[in-house]
Amino acid sequence: MLKKLISTLLISSAVVLTGAAHAQSPATPTLNAPSAAAPIVPSAPDLAATSYLLIDANSGAVLVENNADNPLPPASLTKMMTSYIVSQEIKRGQIGENDQVLVSEKAWRMGGSKMFIRVGNQVPVIDLLRGVIIQSGNDASIALAEHVAGSEDAFADLMNAQAQRLGMTNSHFVNATGWPAEDHYASARDLATLAQAIIRDDPKSHYAIYGEKEFVWNEIRQPNRNLMLWRDSTVDGLKTGHTEEAGYCLVASAKRDDMRLISVVMGTTSEAARAAETQKLLTWGFRFFETKTFYQPGQVLAEESVWKGEQDKVELGLQDGLMLTLPKGQADKLEAGITLNKPILAPIQVGDVLGEVEVKLGDEVVHKAPLVALSAVEEAGLLGRLWDSIRLFFYGLFD
């Protein structure tokens, strides 16, 4: 069933805190954003696809989804995980870009889309990575899998471990290519999560490969199968996939100004269709939504009194900052307030939750996030603690 999530405010990672009574702090941070008339947001486009999803890459806000958690055959979208693992192994220094990879007979014989590497030849890792990403080479994928893990089966174990680490709960891999196999599947939401990880974690030089339009190997020039790279100059990745079972699939990412969107389209009927349906999502998302950063991670939002501590104040803020994706023109209508768990008693460690920030649009609470200590406060000595205990007793009588 289609779920069109076009609420008044779309948020990421809302954290609702429960517990003892909270005391309202007089400190109320202001969300500074430009004033603009709020446009009417039309319904998201209906796509001719089995499953699809559109998210903001930075806030994680879901703009629209349909069957996004259904496990489906991912075809060559699988290679996003293959390239991600290889990139991370390079980043950690486990392998090098210029390491020579010996091409096995298994890699050479693999059918489907190919880079056309030759058995017994040695090929640099970075060229194989281009063969995977740009040419969607099944042979290159197996060669890299064997180089990293010794065998494709062992590499599949790494793929599933990474999927678990990233929170991809509706995905399972049995090979490095996406070749049709039993128990090999992924959901649109999981693939969007993987795309976020690639954009966030990969070296910039590696992510840039997803935007390269062609690659020549063995005197064979092959274009990138992502038609969006030619149709929309703001698109810079990521990956296509196609098998008879999976249909035509595309995970795309585009950046306009400071906003980056990720779209996942699975199960369309043609190469042209997957590009057209992707364009619909990206156009709608960029036209009617914006992403704003209101508070940076670690930004001090308040300074509050501490009892029984060596210091009498503690700085408070949001560990992950505050970034919201919302319909254009709504930012100036938001109000934020701080609620504290009082009294605040030492000792306090950095990251201790001492309250929450609550964001409202009118009377509606649209986002909550934990308010944490940005600095540590050690416990005071015996006399200091005793004195504050007496003060707290009388403070409680008159509060």
CATH number at residue 78: 3.40.710.10
184 and 63 share a domain?
yes
Over residues 62-75, mean pLDDT = 97
Which of 253, 268, 283 is the C-terminal boundary of a domain? 268
Which of 233, 268, 303 is the C-terminal boundary of a domain? 268
Residue 119 lies in a domain: yes
168 and 79 share a domain?
yes
Catalytic residue among 12, 51, 59, 79: 79
199 and 253 share a domain?
yes
Quote the longest CA-to-CA distance of the chain: 85
Residue 233 lies in a domain: yes
Determine whether 83 is an active site residue.
no
- pLDDT(34) > 60: no
Residue 286 lies in a domain: no
Q: What is the pLDDT of residues 190-224, one digit of tens each?
A: 999 999 999 999 999 999 999 999 999 999 999 99
Q: Which of 102, 87, 188 is nearest to 133 (CA)?
A: 87
Q: Please, which pLDDT band fits residue 48 given cuts at 50, 70 and 90?
A: very high
- pLDDT(391) > 70: no
Residue 42 lies in a domain: no
pLDDT at 11: 35
Q: Is the pTM of this model over 0.85?
A: no
234 and 377 share a domain?
no
Over residues 328-354, mean pLDDT = 81
Q: Give the C-alpha separation, 231 to 126, whole Å.
A: 27
61 and 161 share a domain?
yes
Domain with 192, as residue range(s), is 51-268
Q: Give the C-alpha separation, 313 to 299, whole Å.
A: 16
Determine whether 25 is an active site residue.
no
245 and 114 share a domain?
yes
24 and 61 share a domain?
no
Looking at the 3D structure of the chain, how many domains does it have?
2
Q: Choose between 398 and 182: higher pLDDT.
A: 182
SS3 244: coil
What percent of the residues of the chain are helix, what percent strand, and what percent coil, each to the nearest 5?
30, 30, 40
Over residues 120-138, mean pLDDT = 98
Residue 326 lies in a domain: yes
Residue 315 lies in a domain: yes
Q: Give the C-alpha separation, 87 to 205, whole Å.
A: 10
Buried b (16+ CB within 10 A) or exposed e, 29-65: bebebeeeeeeebeebbebbbbbbbbbbbbbbbbbbb
Catalytic residue among 12, 51, 59, 76: 76
Q: What is the pLDDT of residues 172-199, one digit of tens each?
A: 999 999 999 999 999 999 999 999 999 9
Q: What is the edge-to-edge ordering of all strands in the sheet holding 51-56?
A: 2-3, 62-66, 51-56, 259-268, 247-256, 235-243
Q: Are 289 and 56 in contact (CB under 8 A)?
A: yes
190 and 67 share a domain?
yes
Residue 45 lies in a domain: no
Q: Which of 34-38, 248-252, 275-279, 291-295 has the lowest mean pLDDT?
A: 34-38
Residue 274 lies in a domain: no
297 and 370 share a domain?
yes
27 and 67 share a domain?
no
C-alpha torsion 47→50→54→59, nearest 10: 160
Q: Give the C-alpha separation, 236 to 137, whole Å.
A: 19
Residue 301 belongs to domain with CATH number? 2.60.410.10
Catalytic residue among 104, 113, 136, 253: 136
218 and 324 share a domain?
no
Over residues 312-323, mean pLDDT = 84
18 and 72 share a domain?
no
Determine whether 233 is an active site residue.
no
